[in-house]
Structure 1
Amino acid sequence: MNDTALLDFHGVLVEPTTLRIERLLPGPIERIWAYLTDSDLRRRWLASGAMEQRLGASTELVWRNQELNDPPTARPEGMPEEHRMVVTVTEIDPPRRLGITWGASGGVTFTLEPRGTQVLLTILHRRAPDRNTLLNVSAGWHAHLDMLAADVTGQAKPAHWDNWVRLRAEYDGRFPA
């Protein structure tokens, strides 16, 4: 993918239930790798949880999305204050590739590629079990990547839940029913 194609940050379906979403971020690659693997950095954009960087290691990820903003943002109705999920490292090649299990889906792979002084982060979320999950994870990855981009560039973070609600509606219109 060329860098100009990254101006639309929306994910795309590479298979009917598999999302690919990319973001070009300021490097170096080791910095972005740390945002994937270090609990303190990861909680600033996604979820906390100490991650041992070895094949087969398990980690409990803990989301507190309303705390991604200061002041905290209001949660949409039906969304929990906290969400927990145990993931297992299925692939690891520091600082280029990390694969983890992800609930009932086919797993998530993070790939990092240097692009000059920047790093292309590609997330592949495989085999969402149903349309509702696909829409939730599409909006979720997009919104969380918006938080990551803001954090690594020192910009103001968007209101996470407001952004997620808007993005979920957008993905509902973008993806076939």
Structure 2
Amino acid sequence: MTERLAVNAYGRLAEPQTLVIERLLPGPASRIWAYLTDSNLRRQWLAAGAMEEKAGAAFELVWRNDELTDPPGSRPEGFGEEMRMKSRVLELQKDKRLVFTWGESGEVCFDLRPEGDEVLLTVTHRRISDRANLLMVGAGWHMHLDILQAHVTGGRTAPFWDGWLKLKGEYDTRLPA
């Protein structure tokens, strides 16, 4: 008998500037891989942007968070309808690992590991600049992954912005200052 993997939905600090967050999702890995690399699928839970599946390839992520849930919730002051960020693929192992730059200084790694009929998706976000950004990033990945999980399981989530604001406060109490 195999023991089911326990996954905490909240991110944790692996290092002072590195957040790790996991989700156990229905497989196979190729399905989850498509949600990471295909712009049309990725835009449903994170951000659009055509990505060539090749190390060194430049691409742009385009967030339209108001489109992720219906209703979207109340967008906080200071956030526009759209955000864009230039990125570059650093490493790619199809159905297993995707690493790309996060703007000018950060890096995000997606690792996929089969767990029976499911896939453990581990997101590692490195070089987060400061605590304010850490809280935004933690709440952001958490909410975006909740939406991904809802898409692949047929579930629902809270309105994006309402969920993000709530999670930002929760991360403020959960992550060390």
TM-score category, normalised to shorter length: over 0.9
Query: Which TM-score applies when normalising by structure 1?
Result: 0.95
| Most deviating of 45-54 and 126-135 | 126-135
**Which residue of the partner structure matches residue 162 of structure 1?**
162
1:24 and 2:24 correspond: yes
Any idea what SS the aligned residue of 2:121 has? strand
**Which residue of the partner structure matches residue 116 of structure 1?**
116
Aligned pairs (5 A) from 1:5-154? 5-6=6-7, 8-154=8-154
Deviation at 1:4, TM superposition (A): 4.7
**Stretches (4+) displaced over 2 A:** 2-5, 70-74
* Alpha-carbon separation, structure 1, partners of 2:135 and 2:175: 8
Any idea what SS the aligned residue of 1:19 has? strand
* Alpha-carbon separation, structure 2, partners of 1:13 and 1:3: 23
**Structure 2 unaligned blocks of 5 or more:** none
* Alpha-carbon separation, structure 2, partners of 1:31 and 1:98: 14
Aligned length, in residue pairs: 175
Asked if the contact 2:113–2:120 (Cα under 8 Å) also holds between the matched residues in 1, the reply is: yes
Query: Which TM-score applies when normalising by structure 2?
Result: 0.95
**Structure 1 unaligned blocks of 5 or more:** none
Asked if the contact 1:59–1:87 (Cα under 8 Å) also holds between the matched residues in 2, the reply is: yes
With over 3 angstroms needed to count, the CA separation of the structure-2 counterparts of 1:152 and 1:86, relative to structure 1, is same
* Alpha-carbon separation, structure 1, partners of 2:128 and 2:70: 31
Identity %: 59
Q: Root-mean-square deviation (CA), in Å?
A: 1.2
Cα deviation code 1:50-83 (max 9, x no counterpart): 1000011011110000110123332111112110
